[in-house]
Amino acid sequence: MSIVTETITNTITGPADSIRARFQVNYSGFELNVDLNLPGRGITALFGHSGSGKTTCLRCIAGLEQATDGYLDINGELWQDTAAGIFIPTHKRALGYVFQEASLFPHLSVKRNLEYGMRRVATNVRKVPWDRVMKLLGISHLLDRMPNRLSGGERQRVGIARALLTSPRLLLMDEPLAALDLKRKNEILPYLERLHDELDIPILYISHSPDEVARLADHIVLLDQGKVIAEGGLQETMARLDLPMAFTENAGVVIAARIAEHDDVYHLTRLEFSGGSVLVARRPEPIGQPLRFRIHARDISLATSRAEDTSIANLVPATTKEIVEADTPAHVLVKLELGNTPLIARITRRSCDQLKIVPGMQLWAQVKAVALLDQ
């Protein structure tokens, strides 16, 4: 059987740790024009309103859309260069595509569905062995089931396993959790985290959910009307005040932390991050475990001195960086920094004036709620 990777490893071009994607697509009434230079590892989220071009972008990467002008280099393998007349067809691109709902063959068992997907890949290029895929997605016990006997979450896990068993150099996921209810979503998210932590396959992930993006992504691309309006590391990008995300109810930052200590008397856990720490309700994970959390801008209030007479457990010293208009004329957004970690507070314009908050000022941020991203 001829193998995709054999065909295209001959055209090594760009650096081996980045994804270069440039596409121009014209539909009547919509134009996609993107030029992306993405990390060649980890999860990159494509985020944006409905109709902003996320799926079109993924379809271009998959070779399902013939861009009028296109260039695509995946970690040093050239899949497309319109100017040079190169276009590797979809079936020869070593990629896995996971959709909202896994389209499994209804008349084949889970095992036979998975084997079917593997048929086009020679054993010598198999990146993720069978046993490892079974373990990563926890599906060994489902192998003899027929697809109509699987829950939505199980189907998706099988769909992801099928994609992995084709030994992709890139995994494309288009809202893989959108069709699942909250319970099933929460059930499947740890598996996605595991893929992220344990596999060396870059993932491009479309989602509408800020929480999902905050939990999974390392890098984020924000699309609007077919154009990239922002791109960068998750934490820096979520903390930018010049992006539409800052002007929503959910504005806030994502912080990557580690469990520093447990307090069994008060049933609390201290999460430490660069520049500070916060207390949360006792976590089951061991000390040292990384955890991400969000702090919404609406959950921070500011004080010029350290309040002693407050029940708020999390008071952190921070430096004011920037103050900008918020979503209503009554509010402003204040960007703060705790060491290297950015924070955003949404406070009333009146409080801002009364406290005479200006850039450079040292303040105390009172954090009223910390939203852990694995609940």
Ligand X SMILES: Nc1ncnc2c1ncn2[C@@H]1O[C@H](COP(=O)(O)OP(=O)(O)OP(=O)(O)O)[C@@H](O)[C@H]1O
Which residues contribute to the site for ligand X (CB under 6 A)?
27, 30, 48, 50-56
Q: Whole-number minimum distance, CB 167 to ligand X, in Å?
A: 27
Q: Which is nearer to ligand X, 32 or 88 (CB)?
A: 32
Q: Whole-number minimum distance, CB 116 to ligand X, in Å?
A: 27
Q: Whole-number minimum distance, CB 13 to ligand X, in Å?
A: 27
Structure tokens at 202: 């870059």
Q: Which is nearer to ligand X, 27 or 105 (CB)?
A: 27
Q: Which is nearer to ligand X, 53 or 70 (CB)?
A: 53
Q: Which is nearer to ligand X, 48 or 342 (CB)?
A: 48
Q: Whole-number minimum distance, CB 178 to ligand X, in Å?
A: 9
Q: Which is nearer to ligand X, 54 or 298 (CB)?
A: 54
Q: Whole-number minimum distance, CB 220 to ligand X, in Å?
A: 14
Whole-angstrom distance, CA of residue 190 vs CA of residue 180:
15
The closest of 169, 58, 150 to 104, measured between CA atoms, is: 150
Q: Which is nearer to ligand X, 165 or 223 (CB)?
A: 223
Q: Which is nearer to ligand X, 37 or 66 (CB)?
A: 66
Q: Whole-number minimum distance, CB 48 to ligand X, in Å?
A: 6
Q: How far apart are the first and last CA of the chain?
A: 45
Whole-angstrom distance, CA of residue 333 vs CA of residue 331:
7
Measured CA to CA in angstroms, residue 335 lies from 178, 226, 240, 361 at distances of 32, 29, 9, 11
Q: Which is nearer to ligand X, 109 or 225 (CB)?
A: 225
Q: Whole-number minimum distance, CB 172 to ligand X, in Å?
A: 12
Q: Whole-number minimum distance, CB 52 to ligand X, in Å?
A: 4
User: How many other C-beta atoms can be found within 10 angstroms of the C-beta atom of residue 360?
Assistant: 7
Q: Whole-number minimum distance, CB 225 to ligand X, in Å?
A: 9
**Which residues contact residue 374 at a Cβ distance below 8 angstroms, ignoring those fewer than 6 apart?**
189, 190, 193, 215, 291, 292
Q: Which is nearer to ligand X, 180 or 239 (CB)?
A: 180
The closest of 208, 217, 218 to 245, measured between CA atoms, is: 208
Q: Which is nearer to ligand X, 61 or 110 (CB)?
A: 61
Q: Whole-number minimum distance, CB 232 to ligand X, in Å?
A: 19
